Amino acid sequence: ERQVGKEHRLTLITVLNLAIVYELRKKYQEAELLYKRAQAGFKKELDEDHILTLSSVHRLAVVSTVLEKLEGTDKLYQQALNGVENRYGPYHKFTFTVMSDFGNHYLAENDPLNAMKMFQRVMRGDGSPYHPYPELSLAALRDKARCYVQQTKLPQAEEAFESALRGLQDISGQTLAACSTAFSLGVLYEGQGELHKAVDKFRYCMVKYRKLLGESDTETLKATRRLGLVQETIGEIPVAKDMLQLAYDGYKEIEKSKATKENRESKDFAFTHPDTLEAAHSLGSVYIGLGKLKEAEELCSLAYKGLSKGLGPEDLSTLMASRSLGILCFKQLKLVLSKKYLEETLEGLKKKTPHEVDQELTLRVATELGITCARIGKYDEAKELFEQAIAGFTKIGTPKSKPKAEVPLLIAELKLGDLYAEQEIFDLAKKNIQRAHKGFDRILG
């Protein structure tokens, strides 16, 4: 820069390469600034259709999507796609890459129809029986599956994920792409309640990522944490605790390594990154189940305070930490405080759209809050909450293939029956309790 100037081609190429390094290291804000500088410089020094300009525009668009700066980003993708397609044609690898990234941007905007169009173009290739870049075609098939997920076409999504995974596993050098596909398939299985299948996929990802990227890479830790969460759900508590402890320790080490030595050694040093705090919450939740309430309180409080400050009180991660504190306080017989946290959670969840949060979660929290209200003698509030939960679960319905999904409804009916019994309204108590017990007998035997 000192020798040839800030706008010389060699300087700008160095800026572009440094931006790529920052992006690979997931320092997206630093990368964004350098891509903007490179784009403006190349446009002025060369022209807007030069490959270096187009590369800068393309990477700037990708980083903007990662940073969730979606407004106006589609224009960057369109500029990059038009330029690359005019320069190299519709079947060049760079063209397919920009199309795939453009499709992922549409997915981030919750626009699966336009995303699907992009992925279809990549999958078609040049129309020949053999795609010139099979790894890109299979990655597009994986992303097409994600479109199906957004459209709640889950059988099609599962089929597409499975096909993409089989194909990627057969191509040498595509292990990371296979891991990404397996992780998405695990998330799909988890959402469908096929938890043992989800465990298999998350464990596969964790082992592969650990071998390829190392134990402390964020992808490894993400798969480890997700594995622990599902293991907790299916009752494998000790191994779940081990997985979640690994994830939490890993995220802490990453955050410490990025802090200055002065901050790291300070008594006031606090973990603030959402990944670290969410891992703390996950581990704290397991400790609640294990009855280790002191450890749980420390972790859940850390998560709640940090997430409230960093992401805001209405962010879903904050609300989930608030819910855990409500459950914890109930177990500690801090009932007024339990009610406060659960009310905060319920009010926050009610403000979310169906796309943001599953309605069943909101109804579960309503039941939990109702139980707390009943315990402290607020019977009218408890009755209203139980009735809301029952009405909501009944409206959602239970698929015949998943009878255990009826359990939350039956719990709400049972708790309403217990509430009537406590108020000596025995006819309604008997009606609700008998209905709940019949349901449990039908499901559990």
Which pLDDT value is given to residue 171? 86
Which pLDDT value is given to residue 131? 82
> Looking only at Cα atoms, what is the longest distance across the chain?
91
Which pLDDT value is given to residue 353? 82
Write b or e for each residue in 29-62: b if 16 or more Cβ atoms lie within 10 A of its Cβ, otherwise e.
Answer: eebbebbbbbbebbbeeeeeebebbbbbbbbbbb
> What are the CA-CA distances from residue 364 to residues 72, 103, 329, 435 (Å)?
39, 35, 17, 19
Which pLDDT value is given to residue 403? 61
Using CA atoms, how far apart are residues 391 and 128, in angstroms rounded to an integer?
55
Which pLDDT value is given to residue 124? 86
Please report the sign of the dihedral spanned by the C-alpha atoms of residue 120, residue 125, residue 131, residue 134.
negative
Instruction: Confirm if 370 and 415 have CB atoms less than 8 A apart.
Output: yes
Which pLDDT value is given to residue 107? 94
> What are the CA-CA distances from residue 130 to residues 68, 144, 307 (Å)?
36, 19, 49
Which pLDDT value is given to residue 10? 87
How confident is the prediction along the chain (445 residues), in pLDDT tens digits per residue?
Answer: 555 556 777 899 999 999 999 998 888 999 999 999 999 999 988 888 899 999 999 999 999 999 989 888 999 999 999 999 999 999 999 999 999 999 999 999 999 999 999 999 999 876 676 788 889 999 999 999 999 999 989 999 999 999 999 999 888 777 899 999 999 999 999 988 899 999 999 999 999 999 999 999 999 999 999 999 999 999 999 999 999 999 999 999 999 988 887 787 787 788 999 999 999 999 999 999 999 999 999 999 999 999 999 999 999 999 999 999 999 999 999 999 999 999 999 999 999 887 778 889 999 999 999 999 999 999 999 999 999 999 999 998 876 556 677 889 999 999 999 999 999 999 999 999 999 999 988 887 6
The alpha carbon of 207 is separated from its chain's Cα centroid by a whole number of angstroms, namely: 20
Instruction: Confirm if 49 and 86 have CB atoms less than 8 A apart.
Output: yes
> What are the CA-CA distances from residue 368 to residues 202, 333, 335 (Å)?
30, 14, 12
Stated pTM of the model: 0.82
Using CA atoms, how far apart are residues 36 and 59, in angstroms rounded to an integer?
10
Which pLDDT value is given to residue 401? 56
Which pLDDT value is given to residue 264? 77
Using CA atoms, how far apart are residues 384 and 427, in angstroms rounded to an integer?
18
